[in-house]
C-alpha cells in the first residue's frame, strides 16, 4: 500500500500506511557557516504524486502547550492538500482518513514534528489534519494547495472516541469552540459532510470533476 517514494541526495519522500499521506525528510548540510536544508522541490513532489503540487497559500499558527487544532479538511471539490511543518517547538501531528469509501477510512497516523528536525507531513485531498502542541510558543506552517474558503471547511471532533486519536480522553486540552463542538465521524457521515474517496481520486487524476454533492 505504501509504495510511492522519492529519494535524492537532499530529500526523501515516502508514503505512509494511509494512501496520500507522506513524510518529507530533508538532509541537513552543515559546515562552519551553519546549515542548509532543501525543504521543498516541486519536481520531486510531482514525481511521487504523479501530478503537480501547487502552493496557493501559506499559513502559520502559534500555539500554547496542550492546544489541539483540528480535525480539519475541505470539501471536494475544491479540496485542499497541505504540507505541515513545525518551525518552532514540537507537535504530535495527526492525519485522519475522512474519505468515505476509502480502504483506510477512519484510520489515523501520528508523526512527531519538532523544530531543528527537517521533516514535514504531506496530506492529500480528503485527509483530515489535527495536531497537539507539545510545547509553548509552538509555530506550525501549512503550505496549502488551495486558498482558504470558510464555506469549504470540514471539522470533525478530535476527541471522538471512535477516532481514538492519541490525545482522546484528556480533559486539559485547549481547543476552539468550533473544534470542541464539531460533529463526530459517524454524525459527519450521516449528515453527508465528508468527501468521497472516488471524488478525491478523480480530482487528483484531473480526469473528471468531482461531484459537488451526494444527495
* Nearest to 18, CA basis, from 139, 93, 99: 99
Q: Is 148 a catalytic residue?
A: no
Look at residues 157, 82, 167 and name the one whose alpha carbon lies nearest to residue 125: 82
Asked if residue 13 lies in contact with residue 3, where contact means CB atoms within 8 angstroms, the answer is no
Laid out side by side, the sheet with 108-114 consists of 108-114, 90-97, 127-133, 68-74, 153-155
Q: Residue 14 catalytic?
A: no
As a whole number of angstroms, the distance between CA 100 and CA 14 comes to: 24
**Catalytic position from the list 6, 108, 129, 142:** 142
Largest CA distance in the chain: 62
Which listed residue (72, 108, 129, 197) is catalytic?
72
The residues assigned a catalytic role are: 72, 142
Amino acid at each position: 500500500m505504501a509504495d510511492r517514494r522519492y529519494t535524492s541526495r537532499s530529500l526523501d519522500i515516502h508514503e505512509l500506511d494511509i494512501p496520500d499521506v507522506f513524510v518529507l525528510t530533508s538532509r541537513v548540510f552543515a559546515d562552519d557557516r551553519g546549515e542548509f536544508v532543501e525543504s521543498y522541490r516541486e519536481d520531486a513532489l510531482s514525481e511521487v504524486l504523479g501530478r503537480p503540487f501547487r502552493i496557493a497559500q501559506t499559513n502559520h499558527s502559534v500555539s500554547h502547550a496542550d492546544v489541539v487544532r483540528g480535525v480539519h479538511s475541505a470539501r471536494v471539490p475544491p479540496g485542499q492538500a497541505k504540507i505541515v511543518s513545525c518551525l518552532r517547538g514540537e507537535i504530535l501531528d495527526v492525519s485522519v482518513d475522512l474519505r468515505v469509501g476509502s480502504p483506510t477510512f477512519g484510520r489515523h497516523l501520528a508523526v512527531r514534528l519538532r523544530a531543528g528536525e527537517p521533516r514535514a507531513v504531506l496530506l492529500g485531498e480528503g485527509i483530515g489534519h489535527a495536531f497537539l502542541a507539545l510545547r509553548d510558543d509552538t509555530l506550525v506552517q501549512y503550505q496549502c494547495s488551495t486558498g482558504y474558503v470558510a464555506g469549504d471547511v470540514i471539522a470533525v471532533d478530535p476527541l471522538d472516541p471512535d477516532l481514538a486519536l492519541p490525545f482522546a480522553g484528556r480533559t486539559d486540552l485547549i481547543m476552539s469552540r468550533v473544534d470542541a463542538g464539531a460533529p463526530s465521524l459517524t454524525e459527519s457521515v450521516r449528515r453527508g459532510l465528508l468527501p468521497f474517496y472516488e471524488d478525491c481520486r478523480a480530482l487528483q487524476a484531473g480526469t473528471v470533476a468531482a461531484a459537488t454533492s451526494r444527495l
